[in-house]
Amino acid sequence: MRKIEEVLRLRAAGLTTRDIAGSVNVGRTSVQEYLARAAAAGIGWPLPADLDEATLELKLFPPPTAELAASRPLPDWLDVHRELRRRGHITLQLLWLEWRESHPEGWGYSQFCLHYRRWLGLQDVVMRFEYAAGERLFVDFAGDTMTIVDAATGEETIVQIFVSVLGCSGLMYVEATRSQELRHWLDAHVHAFEFYGGVSEVMVPDNLKSGVTRACRYDPEVNPSYLELARHYGTIVLPARARKPRDKAAVEAGVLTAERWVLAPLRNRRFFSLGELNAAIRERLEEVNARKFRGQPTSRRDLFEDLERTAMKPLPSVRYEFAEHKPVTANIDYHVEYDGHCYSVPYRLVRQRMEVRATATTVEVLHRNQRVASHAREYGRRRFITDPEHMPKSHREHLEWTPSRLIEWGTNIAPEVGALIGKILESYPHPEHGYRQCLGLTSLAKKKGADRLAAACARAIALNAISYTSVKSILQQNLDRVPVPAGEQERLPLPEPPAHENLRGAEYFAAAATTARA
């Protein structure tokens, strides 16, 4: 009653409904209702001195008589609730007008809304779906996990539980996955869409790393692969705000239901494969989806069939193929690295920032969202995958780095370093493939010093361990301080540069200098 008295006082002072609502901390609708009741009861400010709180409440909120309550017809609130969730511009006012046509003696619009909200507040929490049919799909991983046992070794492996819930009907999908990694996260989405037989308008994930690269309340950054899946299925990713559980209340309730009624009954069973576990989960899931809501003659499955199945978007004709995206930079050898292999790009894009899009069979390289290279994905031991079209035709078009320049650089440190660089370049069919190892020696020179690098290179040549990895290992184990085995201590001469059409000798640079001076 104190708030109602304050509303009357502030109205008498000339404040607007919005200002009163902000001052008293109640909704504007409540302020309007209080003022309307006071006007109907003939009560204004200041209140009469003999009017206590009990009398004021009785005047503003008189109880309906038993006869009036019995004569008033009651709407079927479950039907009203279902109609509100259908696609289209269906409102409570429209439903009230349709109801009043057949019940002219029924409640007014405000009472109709009031009693509907009272009915909704008494329903099971999972029955209070608030979204239109086919509008939202909430997705998350459950906090609880399950275990798979290796039949041969008895080793136990923990698996994660993916849960999705439709916002309107509450129909759930539950699946056990190997991990929360991106591939398993997206595969679970594909299986959920196929379980529902359609796609929702919006997907609402939690801010886990697989779905959201950078969590932000106003501008979250969604993982590129997740966005690609959304485009493929014609849906939208709308991440829940960080630390805002109400944004995903449906999936929180769904996760709790899955943990209590799907996972908990399976806690004492032993499963020896992911397929066996998912088959058991599917059995329990069908029971939960078919179970009636408390106090209602309907279930999640019934609501889905009645409201959401036809409201969801159809599945595309082609199933989504997982693709991973990775930012890369083209090295001076005009290759980008992905999954331990190097794929060529046009030499003009050296040192340019790009993006790799990799599927199970193909590796594509994108520059400014345009594909500049495509290769069959390599899984074997071959490290370099090079398209001849990407190679420079002559060093006139590739002036910055050359084999001779790398050898000259190494020789300036020590002849042993230059000798090792020459042998590294000579070991590849294309010297450019050895550029990365030469650059690695550059970093070792900065970290360990020129003297130690020279000693490590001399030892690597003596042992015929011609690679950057060998030199790095020698330095890490301090073997550069150990004398080279007897008979192999002579300093090796600098080898001739490897024969290659792109190599230029001293004569070339002398001629170039003369031309520049002219």
User: Taking 80 as the threshold, does the pLDDT of residue 237 lie above it?
Assistant: yes
Burial of 206 (0-12, 13-18, 19+ CB in 10 A): buried
The residues, ordered by sequence, that sit 6+ positions from 130 with a Cβ below 8 Å of its Cβ are 167, 250
**What per-residue confidence (pLDDT) applies to 507?**
62
- Domain range list for the chain: 2-63, 67-122, 136-308, 324-391, 401-515
Letter for the amino acid at 21? A
- In whole angstroms, give the CA distance from residue 489 to residue 418: 17
The residues, ordered by sequence, that sit 6+ positions from 156 with a Cβ below 8 Å of its Cβ are 147, 148, 149, 150
User: Taking 50 as the threshold, does the pLDDT of residue 399 lie above it?
Assistant: no
- In whole angstroms, give the CA distance from residue 184 to residue 322: 10
Q: Which of 125-139, 147-161, 283-297 has the lowest mean pLDDT?
A: 125-139
Yes or no: is domain 136-308 CATH 3.30.420.10?
Answer: yes
**What per-residue confidence (pLDDT) applies to 100?**
83
Chain segment 69-92, per-residue pLDDT in tens: 445 677 887 778 777 766 666 788
Chain segment 455-507, per-residue pLDDT in tens: 888 888 888 888 888 898 888 888 888 876 655 544 444 445 555 555 555 56
Distance between alpha carbon 303 and the CA centroid of its chain, in Å? 29
Chain segment 270-298, per-residue pLDDT in tens: 999 999 999 999 999 999 999 988 767 88
Helical H segments across 197-248, by residue range: 224-233
Chain segment 188-234, per-residue pLDDT in tens: 999 999 999 999 999 988 766 655 654 444 445 678 888 899 999 99
The phi and psi torsions of 407 (rounded to 5 degrees) equal -65, -40
* Contact (Cβ atoms closer than 8 angstroms) between residue 217 and residue 174: no
Count of other CB atoms within 10 angstroms of residue 249: 18
Give the pLDDT band (50/70/90) at residue 235: very high
Q: If DSSP codes are grouped into helix, strand and coil, which group holds residue 242?
A: coil
Of 3.90.25, 3.40.50, 1.10.150, 1.10.10, the CATH number of 2-63 is: 1.10.10
